[in-house]
Structure 1
Amino acid sequence: MRQINKCAALFLMFFICAAPVFSSGTTAGDFLLVDISAREAGLGGIYAPSYARPSASNANPAVLQGIEEKSAVFSHFTSVFGTNYEQLIYAQPLGKKDSLSVSLMYDTNPELYRTNEEGYEVERIENYDITGACSYAREMMKDLNAGINVKFAFSKIHRSGNFGAVLNAGVLHKNFEQKYLIGASLENIGINSSYTKEKAMFPMLFRGGYGIYVYRNEGDVIQILAEERIFLVENEGAETSLGLEVTYRDFFTGRIGYVFGRQEGRIAIGAGVVYGQASIDYAYQPYFVADNAHRFTITFKF
C-alpha cells in the first residue's frame, strides 16, 4: 500500500508541476483528442478506468495489461464535416505481466476545397493526419499497472505540414475483491515542428477516472464509471464524463454516457455484441458537432 501511495503522489506532483509550465500557447494536433474507438465513445469518452482494453490503451497505456490473447481492433467513423477516421490496433501479451500494442490512425476529408471570391470550388485541398503509436504496460504489483505510450504524428493541409512526437504515461490501480478500478494518465506530452514559429503545442491533458462493478456474476456485469479530464494548453478547462455499462451473458452490452463541463451537457449511447472470438461495438454521440457521427469497432481475438 505504501508503494501505491508513493506512485500516486509522484504522479499527482508531476501533474501539478506540469500545469503552469504548459498552460500557455496554442495547440496543434486536435485529432489526438478525437474519440475513435466505439466502446469508449459510447461511455462519453471514458478511457482511464479500464482493464485489459487495447481500444483504450492509446489514452491510458496502463489499461492494456491483463489481456490474455492477441487481438486486432479496427475502428471507423465519419464526422459531420466529412472527415473519415480509421484506426487499427494490434495488441498481444508478453508473458504474464507485460503487454504491448501498436496502432495506426489515419484521417482525411475528401470534401475540402479551396474556393474563389465568388464561392466556386477551384481546387481540392490535400489534407490528412497520420499517427503511429506503440504502447507498453506492465503489472508492477498485484494491484497496480503502469504503462507508457509513444506517438509519432504527421499532419498535412494544402502545402503546409506539421510533425512531432508525444508521450502518454498512465497508471491503473485494480482491486477486484472490492470491485473497483482507478486510472490516471498524463497525455500528449511533446512538441511539434510548428512550435518554433507559432509556439503551438500538442493538446496536453490530465485524465483521471474511477470504475466500480456494482454487479458481476457469470457473464452478467453492471459497471458505473466516472472520469475527469483537465486540459492544460490552449483548451484550458475541464470536463467530466459519467458512464454506465451493462453486459448480459458475455454476449450483449449496452452503454450510455453523459459529458458536462466545458460545454453544455452531452449524451452518448452505444452497444456491443460478441460472437466467438469476434465482437462488434457501436456508438453514437449526438452532441459536439465534430463528433455527431456513428462509430464502429470490430475486434478479433486469436
Structure 2
Amino acid sequence: MKKNFFIFILLLLLKTAIFSSGGVGNDFLRINPNAKSSSMSNAYCAVSGDTNSIFFNPAGLSFVKNPIISLTHFSSFGDTNYEYFSAVYSMGGFGVMGLGVLYNYTFAFVEYDEFGDEAGNIDNRDITVTLSYSYPVISFMPFGINVKYFNSLLYKYTKTGFAVDFGAMIYINKNPEILGGFTVQNIGYQTAYIDIVDEMPVNIKAGMSFKTNIINDISILIAIDTNRLVTKDELPILDIGGELCFRKFLSLRSGIGLHHDAERFSFGFGINLANVKFSYAFVPYDFLGDTHRITLDIEFKK
C-alpha cells in the first residue's frame, strides 16, 4: 500500500512539472496542442477562422465558412505526447459547430515488486472531448460556448469532470481587420484521484487582433492576449504573437509570452497548398527542454 502511494505521489509531481508551472489541478485543460497558435505564443483569443477557436474562444468559429478537419501531434518533454483531432462545420444560418478531442499520454513506466520482478506497467493519460457552438447573435458580435468532458488516469487512480467555456468576439473594423475577444474558460466540476478534489483552472482571457495587407500579396497579423487564472492570486500574463504571410502560401510566425517566471519565445511557420495547410511550432523551455508541434489542416472549400 505504501509503495502504491509513493508511486502515485511521484507521478503526480512529475505531471505537475510537465503540465504547468502553476500547480492548479487539471492543467492539461490549459495546454494548447495546435501548432499555429502555439507559434504565436497562444495570442489567439481575438483571431478567427479556423479550428484554433475551439480552444481559445468558441465565438471565433462564426467566421468559419467551410468545413475543416485538423490533426495535430505535439511532442512535449518528459516523454509526454499529445494527439489532437478537431473539426468545424458551418450550418449556414444556424451557426457553426466544432469538435475537439485531445489525448495526451506518457510512455508507460515499468512497475517492479519487492523482489525486483516486473509487475506490469504504470500508465498515465488524459483525454478531453470538447463540443463547440457559435452563433452571431448580433451581426458584428458572435457568441460561443464549449462543453467539455475529461477523464484522467494516473497510475491506477482516475478522475472525471465537466467544464464549460463562454466566449464573445466583436468585429471592430473591416480594413484593416480589427477584432476583439473575451472568454471565460474551465468553469466546472471534477472528481478526485483519491480524496482531495483539485481546483478547476478557471481562466479569464481577453485579446485584440490586427490584420492588414502591407503590399500586394503580403499580409501581417498581430495579436495580443491577456490571461488571468482566477484560482491563483497572481497578476495577469501577457502574450503577443504575429504572422507574416507571403502570397497566401508561406507564413512566418513568432510570439513572446510575458509570464511571471520568465519571458517565453515561440517560433513557427505554415505552408498552404490549396485546401491543405501544414503548420509547425517550436517552443523552447530553459530547463525542461524543447517542444515541437505539427498540425495538418484540410479545408473542404465549397
TM interval, shorter chain, is: 0.7 to 0.9
- Of 55, 59, 63 in structure 2, the residue corresponding to residue 62 of structure 1 is 59
Q: 1:244 to 1:160 in 2, by over 3 A?
A: same
What letter is aligned with 1:293?
A: T
- Of 191, 194, 198 in structure 1, the residue corresponding to residue 192 of structure 2 is 194
Segment of structure 1 superposing worse, 216-225 or 251-260: 216-225
Q: Secondary structure at the match of 2:63?
A: coil
Indicate the residue corresponding to 1:221 in structure 2.
219
TM-score, reference length from structure 2: 0.84
For 2:28 and 2:208, how far apart are their aligned partners in 1?
25
Identity across the alignment (%): 23
Indicate the residue corresponding to 1:282 in structure 2.
280
Indicate the residue corresponding to 1:180 in structure 2.
178
Q: 1:197 to 1:242 in 2, by over 3 A?
A: same
Question: Post-superposition shift, 1:262?
Answer: 1.6
Per-residue Cα deviation, 1:19-50 (whole angstroms, up to 9, x for no partner): xxxxxxx7321111112000110000122011
For 2:265 and 2:51, how far apart are their aligned partners in 1?
24
Indicate the residue corresponding to 2:263 in structure 1.
265
1:164 partnered with 2:161: yes
What letter is aligned with 2:273?
A: Y
Q: Secondary structure at the match of 1:72?
A: strand
For 1:212 and 1:118, how far apart are their aligned partners in 2?
63
Q: Does the 8 Å CA contact 2:108/2:124 hold for their aligned counterparts?
A: no
Indicate the residue corresponding to 2:296 in structure 1.
298
Which blocks of at least 5 consecutive residues in structure 1 are unaligned? 1-25
The alignment of Structure 1 onto Structure 2 pairs a total of residues equal to: 277
Question: Post-superposition shift, 1:271?
Answer: 0.4
Question: Post-superposition shift, 1:178?
Answer: 4.9
Q: 1:190 to 1:259 in 2, by over 3 A?
A: same
Question: Post-superposition shift, 1:214?
Answer: 4.4
Q: Secondary structure at the match of 1:126?
A: strand
Q: 1:198 to 1:171 in 2, by over 3 A?
A: same
Q: Secondary structure at the match of 1:51?
A: coil
Q: 1:119 to 1:264 in 2, by over 3 A?
A: farther
For 2:166 and 2:192, how far apart are their aligned partners in 1?
24
Q: 1:82 to 1:188 in 2, by over 3 A?
A: same
Q: Does the 8 Å CA contact 1:80/1:289 hold for their aligned counterparts?
A: no
Q: Does the 8 Å CA contact 2:48/2:63 hold for their aligned counterparts?
A: yes
Question: Post-superposition shift, 1:199?
Answer: 3.5
Q: 1:156 to 1:196 in 2, by over 3 A?
A: closer
Which blocks of at least 5 consecutive residues in structure 2 are unaligned? 1-22
- Of 44, 69, 73 in structure 2, the residue corresponding to residue 72 of structure 1 is 69
For 1:158 and 1:75, how far apart are their aligned partners in 2?
26
Segment of structure 1 superposing worse, 280-289 or 194-203: 194-203
TM-score, reference length from structure 1: 0.84
Indicate the residue corresponding to 2:18 in structure 1.
none
Per-residue Cα deviation, 1:86-115 (whole angstroms, up to 9, x for no partner): 010111101046111112111111143446
What letter is aligned with 2:134?
A: A
What letter is aligned with 1:151?
A: K
Q: Secondary structure at the match of 1:229?
A: strand
Q: Does the 8 Å CA contact 1:140/1:146 hold for their aligned counterparts?
A: yes
